[in-house]
Amino acid sequence: MKWIVKWMLCAGALLLVAQVYSGVQLQNFSSALIAALVLGLFNTLLRPLLIVLTLPITLVSLGLFLFVIHALLFWAASGMLDGFAVSGFEAALIGSVGYSLLCVVIDSALEQLFPPQRLN
């Protein structure tokens, strides 16, 4: 249940980013749902691999290269989907930061609503 609520709220956050920032465009809520799913899969599957592969650059940049990785994944997701468009790398960077901040807020709110279950 928590996963479905988080998915829908993050799709809404993506729509909010598209409304606030003109560099990110979404056609409708179903496009936002698909984009949020693809972004979640990219962050779960590809992001750890990219972090390991770019570890020296990330250490030299004091972690700032992680923003570049996240922006590239955001941009790649927009390239794969029809109803989701990002106008360039700068738009991907700004959009990914906004989307990430909103999803962090959503995560913390959901932790209050759905506390972790203890195993006895």
- The single-letter code of the amino acid at 115 is P
Q: Where are the beta strands (DSSP E) in the chain?
A: 24-26, 84-86
Work out the percent of the chain whose per-residue pLDDT is above 70. Answer: 99
pLDDT score of 102: 96
The pLDDT tens digits for 50-100 are 999 999 999 999 999 999 999 999 999 999 999 999 999 999 999 999 999
pLDDT score of 120: 65
Work out the percent of the chain whose per-residue pLDDT is above 90. Answer: 89
Question: Which three-class secondary structure state does DSSP give residue 83?
Answer: coil
Question: Which three-class secondary structure state does DSSP give residue 42?
Answer: helix
State the DSSP code for 116: P
Backbone angles phi, psi at 23, to 5 degrees: -75, -15
Measured in residues, the chain has a length of 120
